[in-house]
Amino acid sequence: MATYLILQKLFRTGIVSEPAPQADPALRTREQELHEEILGVFGQAVAIRHVDAGSCNGCELEIHALNGPHYNIDGMGVKFAASPRHVDVLLVTGPVSRNMEVALKRAYDATPEPKWVVAMGECACTGGIFGESYATCGKISNVIPVDVEVPGCPPTPVALLQGILAAVSSKKA
Amino acid sequence: MKIGEHDWNLAPLGKYIWRGRMETGQLLALARAVKDEGGQLVALWGSDDRHLDAGFCIHAAFLTSAGLAWVSSTLSVDNPAYPDLAHIFPQADRMQRATFDLLGIRAEGAADERKWLRHGAWQETTFPLRKDFDTGQPPAHELDAYPFIRVQGDGVHEIPVGPVHAGTIEPGHFRFSIIGDRVLKLEERLGYTHKGTEKRFEGMDLDAGARLAGRVSGDSHTAIAWAYCMAVETATGCSVPERALWLRALFLEIERVANHLGDLGYLGNDVALSFGFMQFWRLREDWLRVSARLFGHRYLFDRIVPGGVAADLDDAGCAVLGTLADRIEAEVRELKTIYDEHAGLQDRFANTGIVKPDMAARLGLTGLAGRASAQAWDARVQFPQPPYDQLEVDMATQRQGDVLARAEVRFAEVYESLRLIREILTRMPEGELRAPLKPMHAVCEGLGWVEGWRGEIVVAARIGADGKLDRVHPHDPSWQNWPTLEVGMLGNIVPDFPLINKSFNLSYSGQDL
């Protein structure tokens, strides 16, 4: 019964990933570009490890959203992996809380070369509303080297994809 | 205001919100009286009031039969201490330890005096929330060396997890003591995202405070920003326009639907039904995009401001939102049928991560997780703030207290929130969006109380004579619910932890502050 209902729902839903009728047209061309760029650079895949270095969890909402069917990142070869040892890109959110400073450095050290760091969100780029204090080190680049900064509070999934693209493109340069 | 036989001399501070000051001995007696009538401790925090010639202060917010009671006791400057409340309300434990870490105010007679929010960034002898704390001092860089409670015996071993997890989750450390796959004990170590949020509030103007409040826990942005605004509006005697209040309720229900849709998807994902994840996250994305189109932000950030709101909705927008609400409801009902019919999902959901009603009551489990364990509290229902006093919210409850019950409460709340959204769209009055806040020239205080998607949010605020924030304490329900997750995990197997954890979906940032 459940299988029948699932299949029925799948057929009714169709594929939402490709030209979504309600999506912004500019957004769609960007998705296509991203696809080619990433395939061009990495051949098959970019693996990403997310590290929350002290975020308010707003940015995490958009990372989750990026994994949804509208964005089809698997189809683009972008994959989130479970360990920093398995990835090309570290995606870091939050101002770096002092309580996460050591863990972030260790995650960075555990990531094999070549590696790129994408700082996601206002706090990650500038320290944001939390700034630097007894409890935070401020922006990510105060703690580890950063390749790309994606501003926004939080950045949209599309902006985030653009940031990931910018990071992997730098390999060509 | 009477609780039990005694009149506690509390004065009304807002609708269903009471305020009083008392000696610490009386505070203890009040806590017992609240416990006896079936109430709960909601929040506990401290403040340094020496600049007001009032020593240190311990504050507690109790849920009582008459509403929320905010009571404070003044403590001596030389030896700031108050009697332990955790032996009456176990949920006080971590709040007491955090209060010591931040202010050096001690709970006398407490069974657990380990540090909580302090890891190694500042020393045991300095207290960041004291007004004379030297903000320029270099970080201590001490090792955390947290004394976990060890479980010993033949075949017992430990699995340490975190703070960096395998998935996209906030950082926290979980220490499992297990035999085979069976969990004998789970101990949480939180505080990794401690950002000094409460210190940051000090000296901010009221508008900036609203932006910071919304970033205490991003997934509850609207609820915390509203509670903060309610607090400063109470403090300054601001009367918020009717239309603004209705729009705030609209935003709050939109936030609830967005979060519940996301969780229902992830619950499917965690039992290997990725179909569920993709379907619910498709609906969620449609929902977020309409929010962005109508209000200018996918998560409605900064749309609630002191005195009112910073976004409006026209008739065309109402139609768009109403139509989408209808479609989402129809689709969620279809997906509910699939979840109900799916044997594998039901097998994993049912009887997993159980918190029984009596345990939930003892530990103060609150919010949606509480309602899934027969704790029939919802601030929108029992103590409705405007406009909920005109909306008659239907509360969702379950008794089983397992993952399935928490999923069922989410389904019921999605339907109810969508109904509320449609009702708000048709009944929302015309009028102004924002009233200016009166400048105050004396110290004033207020408290906000909002039923967020996760549970009740309380924000207490004091404004200084200069019109800037002097002390703000935002309280997230995760404070109460994290310790209960440890209990819900007992006897379960390690591979069920992600599922059980997700079924609570608690905030790290909200409790780490």
Query: pLDDT per residue over B85-98, tens digit each?
Result: 999 999 999 999 99
Determine how many CB atoms are found less than 10 A away from the CB of residue B484.
Answer: 25
Structural domain contains residue A12: no
pLDDT digits (tens, 9 = 90+) for B420-456: 999 999 999 999 999 999 888 899 999 999 999 999 9
Q: Which of B122, B168, B286 sits opposite A64 (nearest CB)?
A: B168
Q: Domain B197-432+439-509 sits in which CATH superfamily?
A: Cytochrome-c3 Hydrogenase, chain B (1.10.645.10)
Which CATH number belongs to the domain containing residue A161 in this structure?
Answer: 3.40.50.12280
> What CATH architecture applies to the domain B2-108?
2-Layer Sandwich (3.30)
pLDDT, position B500? 96
Structural domain contains residue A60: yes
CA neighbor of B246 nearest in space, from B459, B433, B436, B435: B433
Q: How many helices (H) and strands (E) does chain B have?
A: 16, 17
Q: Give the three-class secondary structure for B460.
A: strand
Q: Is A121 on the interface with B (CB under 8 A)?
A: no
Given an 8 Å threshold on Cβ–Cβ distance, is B137 in contact with A134? Answer: yes
Q: Which of B51-60, B82-91, B159-168 has the lowest mean pLDDT?
A: B159-168
Would the pLDDT of A28 be above 90?
no
Given an 8 Å threshold on Cβ–Cβ distance, is A134 in contact with B199? Answer: yes
- A100 with A126: CB under 8 angstroms? no
Would the pLDDT of A23 be above 50?
no
Structural domain contains residue A11: no
In angstroms, what separates the C-alpha of B431 from chain A's closest C-alpha?
Answer: 30
pLDDT digits (tens, 9 = 90+) for B341-394: 999 999 999 999 999 999 999 999 999 999 999 999 999 999 999 999 999 999
Q: Which of A16, A54, A134 sits opposite B122 (nearest CB)?
A: A134
- Considering only alpha carbons, which residue of chain A is nearest residue B277? A68
Q: Enumerate the domain spans of chain B.
A: 2-108, 197-432+439-509
Q: What is the mean pLDDT of residues A139-164?
A: 91
Question: pLDDT tier at B80 (50, 70, 90 boundaries)?
Answer: very high
Q: Which residues of B touch A10 (CB under 8 A)?
A: 275
Given an 8 Å threshold on Cβ–Cβ distance, is A95 in contact with B168? Answer: no
- Considering only alpha carbons, which residue of chain B is nearest residue A20? B286
Question: pLDDT tier at B270 (50, 70, 90 boundaries)?
Answer: very high
Structural domain contains residue A96: yes
Q: Which of A16-20, A76-80, B481-485 has the lowest mean pLDDT?
A: A16-20
Structural domain contains residue A8: no
Given an 8 Å threshold on Cβ–Cβ distance, is A82 in contact with B167? Answer: yes
Domain count, chain A: 1
How far is Cα B360 from Cα B370, in angstroms, rounded to an integer? 7
The two structure tokens encoding residue B359: 């345990």
Q: Which of B133, B282, B288 sits opposite A16 (nearest CB)?
A: B282
- B81 with B108: CB under 8 angstroms? yes
Domain membership of residue A140 as a residue range: 25-169
pLDDT, position A36? 60
Given an 8 Å threshold on Cβ–Cβ distance, is B193 in contact with A9? Answer: no
> What value does the mean pLDDT of chain A take?
82
Q: Which residue has the higher pLDDT, A37 or B24?
A: B24
Given an 8 Å threshold on Cβ–Cβ distance, is B128 in contact with A134? Answer: yes
A residues 50-89 near B, CB within 8 Å? 50-65, 67-70, 80, 82-84
Q: Which of B171, B195, B281 sits opposite A95 (nearest CB)?
A: B195
In angstroms, what separates the C-alpha of A162 from chain B's closest C-alpha?
Answer: 18
- The residue of B125, B130, B193 whose CB has the most chain A CBs within 10 angstroms, and thus the best one to mutate to test that interface, is B193
Own/partner contacts of B485-489, CB < 8 Å, gap of 24 or more, are B485/B186, B485/B188, B486/B185, B486/B186, B486/B187, B486/B188, B487/B355, B487/B359, B487/B363, B488/B353, B488/B354, B488/B355, B488/B401, B489/B183, B489/B186, B489/B353
Given an 8 Å threshold on Cβ–Cβ distance, is A99 in contact with B191? Answer: yes
Cα atoms in the 13 Å half-sphere on the side-chain side of B189: 22
Whole-prediction pTM value?
Answer: 0.94
